[in-house]
Amino acid sequence: MYQALTDTLPVITDRQRQVVVLIAAGCSNDEVALRLGISPRTAKAHSDALRQKLGVPRRRQIPAAYRARTGDDPLSQGAAGARVARGR
């Protein structure tokens, strides 16, 4: 039963995907907040939720865990994610 629970992909929202892309690009929570038009506290909350969903203890591990779980490389989505983050 444990294996079945760990094999399921966590539900990651579009906003959380944007946060993953920005973290992968090296942005701090303050920079994520600025680019997405949210508060730094909200950016940290997204980061904390992603850490929990992806099962990693450190923020810097989020992009690698996301890639391992989804097969999507957040760095390859960087340009598109940055445009979305700026509202273009």
Task: Give the list of residues 6+ apart from residue 25 with CB closer than 8 angstroms, or none.
Answer: 75, 78, 82
Q: What is the CATH number of the domain that holds 49?
A: 1.10.10.10
Pair 40, 30: CB distance under 8 Å: yes
Average pLDDT of every residue of the chain: 86
DSSP label at 58? S
Mean pLDDT within 30-57: 98
* Amino acid (1-letter code) at residue 13: T
Task: Give the list of residues 6+ apart from residue 31 with CB closer than 8 angstroms, or none.
Answer: 22
The pLDDT of residue 87 is above 60: no
Query: For a pLDDT cut of 70, what percent of the chain falls above it?
Result: 80
The pLDDT of residue 75 is above 70: yes
pLDDT value for 77: 74
Domain span holding position 72: 2-85
**Which position has the higher pLDDT, 1 or 56?**
56
The number of folded domains in the chain is: 1
